[in-house]
A = this chain, B = another copy of it.
């Protein structure tokens, strides 16, 4: 029996992707090899790689001004890789702080230059807001402005993306990329670790505007220098081939569903169901401002926190797993990424109502 998995990442994958991966494990399309065993230079894997990139281009409607790079190191790796790639001539950037992830990005960037905090969404209740553009106090001529467009831990999503003119906007979209259409042209750099909506941990998608490929610091490692990666079609070092294959299967699944507008409609419905359940009860609580509530990561608290363990145990007994909140926040968190079906959210809210009514 498969559970409903609300993990923040690595996270649920579409069951049909897993079935196809299992079916093709020993012999991919008559090649006599597993995808795991293929040379990254061979024509079989090149076809898998190129098709995954083409599908991602199509899904996100990526303009020709931007390139997709596939790296390793995840979001935390990218926290260093971004400044190492953009601080070559101007070692300073601005950061909009909306939660733990943008905090980490700011701290890491300060190893390579000046990392100015332009705005913060911190309140007495923790990180509960997405500061609007009018609040951002940008410094003079920064190399870029960093924004985490969805904070996985605090459940804060930024929906209103400003146009910064000549200043490149760098977005860490790890935990909501592919959850809805995005206007990629607004971003200088858009990156995301794969282990939420893209596939499995170990590959990072970095979408870069081409004019930003030439600004690296000399100390940037070759394996992570975007220009080198771009010139080598993301094969300067051996890419994480199997993670790219799984991402490709997820992209096909998304296309078959109807692409990002279709998955957005599903995600809106799922999020509404869960937030409505929380809001119509005094038993559960979410502290994030309504306009900044994440559709992907829904942290919530029980009014009576002494019931937390009972809540989690009852959930697990019903096959609803990974609901414990991040240790820095406490309470609960339901991550309802693309691959978590509506049925999973329905099962969760039914359980929440039942628990409220009569306990686990």
Among A36-44, A129-137, A164-172, the stretch in contact with B: A36-44
Chain-B contact segment, one of A20-28, A57-65, A257-265: A20-28
Q: Shortest Cβ distance from A239 into chain B, in angstroms?
A: 7
Quick check: is A202 within 8 A (CB to CB) of the other chain? yes
Q: Is A358 an interface residue (CB 8 A)?
A: no
Copies in the complex: 2
Please state if A25 and B21 are interface contacts (CB–CB under 8 Å): yes
Name the CB-closest residue of B to A77: B223
Q: Does A12 belong to the interface (CB within 8 Å)?
A: yes
A3 within 8 A of B: yes
Inter-chain contact B18/A34, CB cutoff 8 Å: yes
User: Nearest B residue to A203 by beta-carbon distance?
Assistant: B202
| Docked-complex contact B73 and A8, CB < 8 angstroms | no
Asked whether, in the complex, the Cβ of A33 is within 8 Å of the Cβ of B238, the reply is no
Asked if A7 is at the interface (CB within 8 A of a chain B CB), the reply is yes
Which residues of chain B are near A32, meaning CB under 8 Å? 1-3, 5, 319, 321
**Can you name the residue of chain B whose Cβ is closest to the Cβ of A243?**
B202
Q: Known: A193-B238, A242-B243. Is A80-B221 also a contact (CB below 8 A)?
A: yes
Q: Are A202 and B7 touching (Cβ within 8 A)?
A: no
Query: Which A residues form the contact surface with B (CB < 8 A)?
Result: 1-3, 5, 7-13, 15, 18-19, 21-23, 25-27, 31-34, 36-40, 42, 45, 72-77, 79-81, 84, 108, 111-112, 193, 195, 199-203, 218-219, 221-224, 236-243, 246, 319, 321-322
